[in-house]
Structure 1
Amino acid sequence: MVEMTEMAYILRHAGPSSLVLVDEIGRGTSTYDGLALAYACALDLATRVRAYTLFSTHYFELTQLPELAPSATNVHLDAVEHAGEVTFLYQVQAGPADRSYGLQVARLAGIPEPVLHDAQTRLAQLEEHNVRPLSRFVEPDEQIHLFGQMTTNLPAQFLEKIRQLEPDSTSPRDALALLYELRALIDSPDDAPALPREPDTHRVD
């Protein structure tokens, strides 16, 4: 709550002559909430507020921000890793970081080795199943663009039914029937039967 209050004050009162320092906004929320908040705040600072801002974040996806705000620039603090150990050089380099050093920092902080070993094993499993930080493990042509057009693998019938939906004239009964129908399309897109809808006796055409 404190960080949100502070950010609200910044967005309301900062201007082009302001210096704004932001450290890990959104860390107190769930993954997607935090990412969405960090993105929206960074974009507003860069495009509307236009304050000189240093915005640190662990969300790799935010390195795409310069695509929408040309005044934004990615920089990172350089580090060197050798034999599982990391040395931070404290030198600012152009461009986004190419990876995270969370496990190495945890080791420096004194996290027990068995815990680190379990974390490394779990990290390898997440990477294998593509549940991973985007910028580190995805090739550029495969990168998911947070700010670009969304794509989907939903069945064509699903999308068509959504397009044909008229929310203002759909009764609660019809909406519930449609929800079951859409669920059936996702579960069995090739042979999902269309569920019958009961007439709405309360709707006036």
Structure 2
Amino acid sequence: MTYEFDFSVLLPYWEQFLRGCWLTVLLSTIAILAGLSIGIVTALAKQSPIAWVRLAATTYVEAIRNTPFLVQVFFIYFGLPAIGISFQPWSAAVLALSLNCGAFSAEVIRGGIDAISRGQFEAGAALGLKRLQVYRYIVLKPALRIIFPALSGQFVLALLTTSIVSSISAEELTSIAQSIDTLTFRSFEIYVVTTVLYLVMALGFAHIFKAVDRAYFSYPVK
């Protein structure tokens, strides 16, 4: 059996591939920003002196970290309508990715907070700062400096995880590639191009995060 490779067949679809990349980057960016916010709040909640707040945060993190992402997507898109809560595919994808990214980020951030010396907390309290002010002004940036490489890896993983939301017909690169495949039947060429595009986006995100790390979290060299 012979197969003639012909990538020129895909040239008429280059705008659709670029649109898929844009939607993937947009989806990832929203999920990363929302996930980071959720992660910070959850990490602080796990440090709360209030028992039910700690329990709620721990339950959320454990539920997300110990279930498959595909099941989470299906639960939000197919399961929640049973109780009257419905989402469009893209909205469901954003919510699922944000919650997933938030849970994993929370554990990374919590680890960074735990790495900060207790003396820092005591110094903040001695200055008359409230608990949240201590976290905001004294703890958070040093903690983020420690964990930023791990968070960067988590965020690049979030970009690659967007491909799973094609299972609910949310538009991004993989779903658009599948649509082109049904028109051209050039699966090999399509998924080679798709793989290269994901690689370029992942490396691009990695370089952006390295630049952010150097700009905001690296100690100046004297």
TM-score (norm 2): 0.23
Q: TM-score, normalised by structure 1?
A: 0.25
**Structure possessing the higher radius of gyration over alpha carbons:** 1
Higher strand share: 1
